[in-house]
């Protein structure tokens, strides 16, 4: 079997996916119309023309503007359902989805509207497509600790729907330790923890995500390779890394996919995984990420199988549920 067909049929889990980053231009324009929201774009081509980014912040500005069309519970349901149907066709059997409630609450959209729409779509996908899922609520790191505590208080009322907390948005100058107290309280309330670290920020931010936030996974983690002792530690601990090749390319963390450290991560014995991050904005869903990075760095069939198995190993599924895929 050729490698692209192997990627198509392998069962996979997706562990690094911002649901707001799956908003396709067509749906953005349709929801803008449905909800009477003004956008600076009128056509799909105009939307796509805005997807030229020099860094993470460039992208985030467009991403927060795009999500302004999401107002009602049905919008969040439709968004989530469209993503799940898409990746069901790519062999994805399990998803762990990030959402950014603070970005919606600051626009006057209620926490329960966001959570209600996303979680009913996950329930439908479980019932109709046999897809399993977990939800991860991210704190926006450009906002302060108090704002994060507000989101955590909302999450505590809905523990049956939220499995873990995460940390995303602008990384530079916003080290994980600013949120140590929020994460300590979240963990005390029974949530697992993950955090974006080492996407643009230095290796030291990965270390404080591990030591201060006590995360179970590191999202991105690319800059770990600047510190060999950290790579050795993460390999020894089998600390998962959720890597996102097309995201790194589009946000200029790398200038060519050939530079992507996914193969280096496997060679170092890290529990690395491939994910799409914000597929609508970065030009590909999970299989496009696997295929393009596989072609660029020359992954073997065995390495691709390892990455797919890693996605289940690194997931929050029970050991029993993981076994079916290992």
The residues that are catalytic are 199
Among 75, 78, 199, 303, binds ligand ES4 (CB under 6 A): 199
Q: Is 277 assigned a ligand-binding role in the annotation?
A: yes
Judged by CB under 6 A, the residue of 68, 90, 133, 169 near ligand ES4 is 169
DSSP-assigned states of every residue in 155-182: HHTTTTT--EEEEES--TT--GGGGHHH
Choosing from 13, 21, 280, 293, the residue that interacts with ligand ES4 (CB under 6 A) is 21
The separation between the first and the last C-alpha atoms of the chain, rounded to the nearest angstrom, is 20
Residue 253: what are its φ and ψ, rounded to 5°? -70, -30
The 241-280 site mask, x for binding Zn ion (CB under 5 A), equals: ------------------------------------x---
For residue 188, the minimal CB distance to Zn ion (Å) is 25
The residue nearest ligand ES4 at its CB is 168
Decide which of ligand ES4, Zn ion, none touches 56; Cβ closer than 5 to 8 Å per partner kind: ligand ES4
Q: Judging by beta carbons within 10 Å of its beta carbon (0-12, 13-18, 19+), is residue 202 exposed, middle or buried?
A: middle
Q: Of residues 36-75, which lie at the interface with ligand ES4 (CB under 6 A)?
A: 56, 63
> Is residue 96 part of the contact set for ligand ES4 (CB under 6 A)?
no
Q: Which residues contact 311 (CB under 8 A, 6 or more apart)?
A: 12, 13, 14, 15, 94, 273, 274, 275
- 94 in a labelled binding site: no
* Cα(176)–Cα(211) distance, integer angstroms: 10
Nearer to Zn ion, 27 or 251 (CB): 251
HSE of 249, CA atoms in CB hemisphere, 13 A: 20
Sequence-ordered list of residues with C-beta below 8 angstroms from that of 325, at least 6 positions apart, any chain: 11, 13, 93, 308, 309, 312
Of the residues 73, 168, 207, 212, which one makes contact with ligand ES4 according to CB under 6 A: 168
Annotated binding-site positions: 16, 18, 196, 277-278
Which residues contact ligand ES4 (rule: CB under 6 A)? 18, 21, 56, 63, 168-169, 196, 199, 247, 277-278
């Amino acid at each position: 079997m050729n490698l692209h067909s192997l990627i198509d049929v392998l069962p996979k889990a997706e562990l690094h996916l911002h649901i707001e980053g799956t908003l396709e231009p067509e749906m953005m324009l349709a929801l803008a119309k449905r909800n009477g929201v003004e956008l600076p774009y009128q056509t799909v081509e105009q939307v796509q023309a805005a997807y030229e980014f020099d860094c993470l912040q460039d992208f985030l500005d467009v991403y927060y503007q795009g999500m302004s069309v999401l107002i009602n519970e049905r919008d969040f349901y439709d968004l989530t359902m469209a993503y799940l149907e898409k990746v069901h066709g790519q062999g994805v059997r399990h998803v762990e989805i990030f959402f950014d409630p603070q970005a919606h609450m600051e626009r006057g959209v209620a926490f329960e509207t966001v959570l209600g729409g996303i979680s009913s779509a996950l329930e439908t996908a479980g019932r109709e497509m046999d897809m399993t899922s977990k939800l991860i609520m991210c704190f926006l790191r450009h906002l302060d600790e108090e704002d994060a505590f507000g989101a955590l208080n909302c999450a505590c009322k809905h523990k049956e729907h939220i499995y873990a907390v995460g940390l995303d948005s602008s990384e530079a100058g916003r080290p994980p330790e600013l949120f140590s107290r929020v994460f300590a309280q979240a963990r005390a309330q029974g949530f697992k923890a993950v955090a974006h670290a080492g996407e643009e920020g230095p290796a030291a931010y990965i270390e404080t995500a591990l030591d201060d936030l006590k995360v179970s996974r590191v999202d991105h983690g690319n800059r770990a390779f600047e510190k060999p002792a950290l790579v050795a530690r993460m390999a020894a601990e089998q600390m998962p890394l959720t890597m996102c090749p097309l995201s790194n390319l589009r946000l200029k963390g790398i200038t060519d996919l050939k530079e992507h450290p996914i193969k280096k991560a496997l060679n170092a014995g890290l529990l690395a995984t491939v994910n799409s991050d914000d597929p609508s904005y970065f030009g590909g869903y999970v299989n496009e990420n696997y295929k393009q990075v596989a072609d660029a760095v020359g992954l073997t069939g065995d390495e691709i199988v390892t990455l797919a198995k890693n996605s289940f190993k690194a997931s929050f599924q029970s050991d029993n549920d993981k076994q079916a895929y290992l």
